């Protein structure tokens, strides 16, 4: 939580299905209502070990918790370190758009080894992969549209990553976009962009 980059931020945690909440202040700013508020999901919980969480921040790179969100630290091995938040009023920076675990890379009680993360910062590369539980990361090769930004993604049970791209982070100024899928087993990309609505040219 934290509406703008000038506001204090926190992670809220519940251990009883939402009846009560613990508020953990964090040093990284959220900017939840800044430009790019539709990016995500930035927060990911390991489905095999729910003590492990990752958060893709706007200004402070990739953050990790190993105690169910009570404490956080920056992942030093992630290639996108973040940019200092600008002063004054303005759109700010998008930072890391999403983090995704591959459940098949772990087992119940044993953390997932493979993770994917997307950066909505300008300039390629935008997509990154870790196969050692988030310790080291490498750029995913062959990204077909370096001119577009990845804004949302989902991984299916067959290891296919579906990614929505845009030429802006929104909610304003978006005029072009695309949808691609990536077979994470063989690195093959496919353009699956729906047919544009001809009655609304210039849409995302």
Tell me the pLDDT tens digit for each residue of 19-38.
999 999 999 999 999 999 99
Rounded CA separation 78/117 (Å): 10
Of the spans 110-119, 165-174, 191-200, which averages the highest pLDDT? Answer: 110-119
Sheet holding 177-183, edge to edge: 149-155, 160-166, 177-183, 188-191
Nearest-CA neighbor of 106 among 117, 118, 114, 116? 114
Quick one: what percent of the chain has pLDDT higher than 90?
84
With pLDDT > 70 as the criterion, what percentage of the chain qualifies?
97
pLDDT confidence of residue 195:
76
Q: What is the pLDDT of residues 133-155, one digit of tens each?
A: 999 999 999 999 889 999 999 99
The neighbouring-strand residues paired with 101 are: 115
For residue 22, the model assigns a pLDDT of 96
Q: Taking all residues of the chain, what is their mean pLDDT, rounded to a whole number?
A: 94
- pLDDT tens track for 150-180: 999 999 999 999 999 999 999 888 989 999 9
Q: Would strands 188-191 and 43-45 be described as parallel, antiparallel, or unpaired?
A: unpaired
Q: Which pLDDT tens digit goes with each residue over 61-112?
A: 999 999 999 999 999 999 999 999 888 777 889 999 999 999 999 999 999 9
What is the value of pTM for the model shown? 0.94
pLDDT of residue 132: 98
Q: How far is residue 160's CA from residue 17's CA, in Å, rounded to a whole number?
A: 31
Whether the predicted pLDDT of 199 surpasses 80: no
The pLDDT, as a whole number, for residue 178 is 93
């Amino acid at each position: 939580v934290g509406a703008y980059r000038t506001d204090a931020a926190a992670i809220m945690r519940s251990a009883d299905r939402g009846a009560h909440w613990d508020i953990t202040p964090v040093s990284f700013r959220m900017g939840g209502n800044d430009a790019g508020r539709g990016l995500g999901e930035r927060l990911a919980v390991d489905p095999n070990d729910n003590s492990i969480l990752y958060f893709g921040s706007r200004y402070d790179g990739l953050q990790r918790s190993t105690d169910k969100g009570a404490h956080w630290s920056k992942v030093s091995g992630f290639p996108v370190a973040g940019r200092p938040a600008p002063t004054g009023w303005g759109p700010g920076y998008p930072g890391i758009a999403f983090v995704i675990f591959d459940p098949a890379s772990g087992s119940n009680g044993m953390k997932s080894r493979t993770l994917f993360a997307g950066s909505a910062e300008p300039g390629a590369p935008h997509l990154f992969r870790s196969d050692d539980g988030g310790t080291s990361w490498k750029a995913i090769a062959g990204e077909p549209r370096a001119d577009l930004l990845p804004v949302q993604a989902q991984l299916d049970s067959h290891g296919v990553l579906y990614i929505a791209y845009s030429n802006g982070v929104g909610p304003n100024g978006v005029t072009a976009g695309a949808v691609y899928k990536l077979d994470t087993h063989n690195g093959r990309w496919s353009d699956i962009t729906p047919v544009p609505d001809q009655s609304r040219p210039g849409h995302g």
